[in-house]
Amino acid sequence: MKKTEKLKQLIDHAKELILEEKKKFRIGQLLKIKDFPIVVIGDIHGDYISLETITKKLEVEGEWNKIVFLGDYADRGPSPLEVYTKILEMKCSHPDEVFLLKGNHEAVDLIEFYPHDLPWHIKNAYGEYWREIYDSLMNLHRTLPIAVIVESIALLLHGGISPEITPKGLEDPTKEELEIILWSDPSEHVKGTTLSNRGAGVLFGPDVSFSVLDKFGVKYLIRGHSPVTKGYRWDHAGRVLTIFAAKHVYGLESGAYALIDSKDPPIEIKLF
């Protein structure tokens, strides 16, 4: 079997398993999961070293029941294909335990972003057959859910929220709602929302976090999207947590992931 076909089969198998989530865990594009502990991993951006570090720690510590990735798997880092192979193998090996969310880098058809160097890496690895792999990954991206609710504890998504976001908006988002979810960031200096300097999404203030999280019946928003020096950052009176895994790509002091459990407090930060 040529290596193109091997990777394409892995992508297609993972896509089938993601679509089957609708039978057990999903309403539209919203996942509802439980069974603690739940590991939450932020942006990887082709940083295979960081991904391997996290997965080896999880293997040694054995302290997870579910894993949720918050999106942004490729672009910027040197090893996007290795990252995709790893996370898709994890999904195929543990279809009811591993969940992949859509980030803004999995929505190039919604809003273009830069750099989008994934095609270059695929061309370099697969030559004239690169388009088969790229198209398969784009089809996979279209199947990805956009958010997770951990009942009474947390809302998990890639970017952010606005006052208008509702459960229906997470289940079946409009293009405008999807932009908010994938592109937005928290700000301590904003009341309500304002335009983002990213050119897409919004900056949302603490008042938005409090009202939306209360509306969803959860205490925390856990999101990625923003590289933060220590790999994590708490905002909005400790109700919004940003986590980021691409330590080496961004030259961060540390990378981090989160562990959600039934204890109090329910969220523990794990550094690497």
Distances (CA, A) of 134 to 11, 44, 70, 88: 10, 18, 21, 15
- Distance between CA atoms of 68 and 235, rounded to whole angstroms? 21
User: How far separated are the first and last CA of the chain, in Å rounded?
Assistant: 37
Is 45 labeled as catalytic in the residue annotation? no
H helices of the chain, where?
3-20, 48-61, 80-93, 118-126, 130-143, 167-171, 175-183, 206-216, 247-250
User: Tokens representing 239?
Assistant: 């109700």
Nearest in space to 7 (alpha carbons), one of 109, 126, 152:
126
Catalytic residue chosen out of the listed positions 105, 121, 158, 236? 105
Sign of the four-CA dihedral 115, 118, 121, 126: negative
Pairing of strands 256-260, 267-271: antiparallel
- Distance between CA atoms of 242 and 54, rounded to whole angstroms? 17
Residue type, 170: L
> For residues 181 and 161, is the Cβ–Cβ distance under 8 A?
yes
User: Tokens representing 149?
Assistant: 């609710």
Distances (CA, A) of 149 to 108, 121, 136, 153, 256: 25, 34, 28, 8, 21
Q: Which residues are annotated as catalytic?
A: 105
